[in-house]
């Protein structure tokens, strides 16, 4: 931990912050420019977009809003099909429903956590979908080769759900710059946070301008303040959020390196473990931000034990862990109900079912630690699993 960084007193030990956050927030407070008129949000979004390898960034209230604005910006509306993953946070699909569009859920790679890109691309073309949302789940990039072909031919918009993937890279390029528009979240659990917050990233000026308008009640910079071309909401980020995020961005790479070092060590320590298997980033990942360390229970070895029970045992040994997603989106009541209202049957997605049943998570802050703690985590995992198997 660098000088000035403080841990919260909560057991979660996240977020971390320091003098820079305190200084920035105080500067905003004393300026009296807490919202419109301030420069922090715009400056932060520009800096963050540059960090992602994009020319333009649009700050907004949260990641859900970023996804909704991005879909609207590429023209998704009532009845349009949008292809995405069933193993993600519910927002990825709720925004599709909110726009009256049709979610098309594609199963994951076998033993993976990402939507099968080849199937998604094929389906998107076959169904004449308006957009595809690859989700860089756990901070690991969704394989992008087939999806980038769609971006290059301009057939279908590719909206990256990069809510969890700040700083990750696919074949040397940062998430958020791999599709048509990237969408980020800065909600409390993320590797950089202001409690809440979001950002859209893109290289296209037309889309960046439209996103700006959709975040700002449909305003356009060249028109009167009280005249709107489009009906839209106020989804703006506050200056306080941006002041915190500017500081969080400055410590992102340093923390990412610590997490990567400890993640590699954890994988080494777990080399010979049986009954549970780390889910590794897909081939093509050149940088993994270690938002989450996902671990898959091997049913053949471990039997039918509920992953919640494994998590309880880990927590009792002081290992931060979570069952993660326990219900894939195609089984959420809200999603099933919405699809039924459109006359659509829930799809059969066995790999997503298996992921929700078998995959548990160790959160990123557990990797912001020292070698001794990583060794303790590995040892605890081995003990817990050994006790269950024997």
Interface residues with ligand PLP (CB under 6 A) are 62-64, 88-89, 91-92, 135, 161, 163-164, 185, 187, 198
Show the tokens assigned to 371. 């070698």
Residue closest to 177 by CA, chosen among 187, 165, 188, 186: 165
CB of 108 to ligand PLP, least distance (A): 14
Identify the burial level of 18 via C-beta atoms within 10 angstroms of its C-beta, where 0-12 means exposed, 13-18 middle and 19 or more buried.
middle
CB-wise, 135 or 270, nearer to ligand PLP?
Answer: 135
In 26-109, the DSSP E strands lie at 56-60, 81-84, 102-105
Q: Least CB distance from residue 133 to ligand PLP, whole Å?
A: 9
Q: Name the residue nearer to ligand PLP (CB basis): 252 or 265.
A: 252
* Residues 45, 46, 51, 57, Cα dihedral to 10°: 60
Smallest gap from residue 184 Cβ to ligand PLP (A): 8
Shortest approach of ligand PLP to residue 42 CB, angstroms? 19
Among candidates 355, 354, 347, 329, which has minimal Cα distance to 123?
Answer: 347
Q: What angle do CA 13, 254, 135 make, to 5 degrees?
A: 75
Cross-strand pairs, 200: 58, 183
**117 in Cβ contact with 144 (< 8 Å):** yes
* Beta carbon nearer to ligand PLP, 91 or 380: 91
Residue 130 falls in the annotated catalytic set = no
Distance (Å, whole) CA 291 – CA 313: 22
**Annotated catalytic residue within 12, 68, 130, 190:** 190
CB of 344 to ligand PLP, least distance (A): 22
Span between the terminal Cα atoms of the chain, in Å: 39
> Catalytic site residues?
190
């Amino acid at each position: 931990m660098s000088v000035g960084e403080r841990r919260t007193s909560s057991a979660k030990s996240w977020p971390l912050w320091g003098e820079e956050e305190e200084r920035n927030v105080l500067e905003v407070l004393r300026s009296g420019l807490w919202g419109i008129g301030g420069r922090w949000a715009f400056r932060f979004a520009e800096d963050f977009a540059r960090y992602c390898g994009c020319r333009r960034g649009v700050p907004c209230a949260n990641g859900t809003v970023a996804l909704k604005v991005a879909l609207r910006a590429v023209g998704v509306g009532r009845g349009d099909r949008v292809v995405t993953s069933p193993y993600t946070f519910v927002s990825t699909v709720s925004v599709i429903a909110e726009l009256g569009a049709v979610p098309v859920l594609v199963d994951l790679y076998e033993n993976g956590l990402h939507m099968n890109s080849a199937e998604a691309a094929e389906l998107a073309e076959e169904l004449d979908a308006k957009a595809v949302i690859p989700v860089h789940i756990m901070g690991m990039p969704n394989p992008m080769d087939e999806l980038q072909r769609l971006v290059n031919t301009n057939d279908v918009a590719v909206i990256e759900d990069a809510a969890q993937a700040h700083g990750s890279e696919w074949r040397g390029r940062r998430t958020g710059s791999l599709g048509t528009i990237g969408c980020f979240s800065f909600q409390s659990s993320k590797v950089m946070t202001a409690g809440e917050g979001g950002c859209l990233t893109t290289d296209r000026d037309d889309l960046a301008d439209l996103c700006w308008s959709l975040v700002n009640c449909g305003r356009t910079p060249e028109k009167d303040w009280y005249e709107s071309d489009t009906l839209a909401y106020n989804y703006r980020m506050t200056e306080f959020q941006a002041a915190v995020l500017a500081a969080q961005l400055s410590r992102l790479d340093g923390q990412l390196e610590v997490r990567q070092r400890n993640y590699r060590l954890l994988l080494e320590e777990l080399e010979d473990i049986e009954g549970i298997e780390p889910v590794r980033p897909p081939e093509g990942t050149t940088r993994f931000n270690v938002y989450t360390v996902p671990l898959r229970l091997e049913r053949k070895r471990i039997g039918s034990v509920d992953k919640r029970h494994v998590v309880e045992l880990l927590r009792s040994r002081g290992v931060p862990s979570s069952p993660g997603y326990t219900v894939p989106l195609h089984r959420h009541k809200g999603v099933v109900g919405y699809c039924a209202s459109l006359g659509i049957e829930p799809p059969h997605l066995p790999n997503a079912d298996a992921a929700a049943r078998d995959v548990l998570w160790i959160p990123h802050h557990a990797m912001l630690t020292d070698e001794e703690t990583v060794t303790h985590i590995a040892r605890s995992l081995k003990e817990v699993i050994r006790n269950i198997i024997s």
